[in-house]
Structure 1
Amino acid sequence: MIQQPETKIKQIRELKNFTQEYVAQQLGLSTRAYSKIETGETQLTINRLNEISAIFGVPPMEVLGFDDKQVFNNCKQDGYIGINHINMPEKLIQQYEETIQALKEQIAVLKLLMDK
């Protein structure tokens, strides 16, 4: 029997740096409904596991077999603390890039004003 699949889902979601709101939106659920999956209040179905796995980009069997101790032990084996490669939604990345571009333009304008 697989122990606490809801806990494994929560741990992977946090490692991916996804919010409950983001995963719920991808699933077409309310945040509360998704939260109930992570707390075990709602029983996890195979179909729902497949959907969540697709969002995480992790095969369902890896979700069920996820061992956080193994992940963190592997990160420390070579003396590294570990790097968390964050998978952010494309829309959020685009917003960051637009903000950065706007700030660069403001810096350029301020430099011109200082030179005058």
Structure 2
Amino acid sequence: MEIGTKVKKLRELRNFTQEFMAASLEMTPSGYGKIERNESEVSYQKLEKIAEVLGIKVEDIVNFNEKMVFNIMNNNNSNNGYVVNNNAMSDNEKRLYEELIAQLKEENSTLKKFIEKLHEK
């Protein structure tokens, strides 16, 4: 998925309009629309500004995968309205997330030990 498409999907998830994004980025709506349609190149500086408006990091835009987003449905018969597509991730993506989770657990453990040492003093 191209950057512009990712930006569009993330904007839609925030319920922001193209006009709001354009105004926040000090752009014309047509100029911003070209970004979402992948008709113009996006500089890293512009991507930083877009991420700031969306309240996320540039990495979140670059790594965005719409298959990872939960679909909220108004159906009370399916897990409180949340449906997860278990086949949405490739094996490689699953491995990467498992590695990330393991790394975060290790960091969490290290931070807990550090906090304990601070309380001892």
Normalising by structure 2, what TM-score? 0.59
Larger relative contact order (Cα-Cα within 8 Å, sequence gap ≥ 6)? 1
Query: 1:8 Cα shift?
Result: 0.5
- Tell me the equivalent position of 2:63: 65
Query: 1:14 Cα shift?
Result: 0.1
C-alpha distance in 2, partners of 1:67/1:16?
A: 15
- Tell me the equivalent position of 2:81: 81
Residue identity in the other structure for 2:64: F
- Residues 9 and 80 from structure 1, CA distance in 2 versus in 1: closer, same or farther, beyond 3 angstroms? farther
Gaps of at least 5 residues in structure 2 are 83-121
Normalising by structure 1, what TM-score? 0.62
Query: 1:80 Cα shift?
Result: 3.5
Percent identity over the alignment is: 33
Over the aligned positions, Cα root-mean-square deviation in angstroms equals 1.8
Aligned residues: 78
C-alpha distance in 1, partners of 2:46/2:81?
A: 33
C-alpha distance in 1, partners of 2:2/2:46?
A: 15
- Tell me the equivalent position of 1:32: 30
1:72-111 aligned within 5 A: 72=70, 79-81=79-81
Gaps of at least 5 residues in structure 1 are 83-116
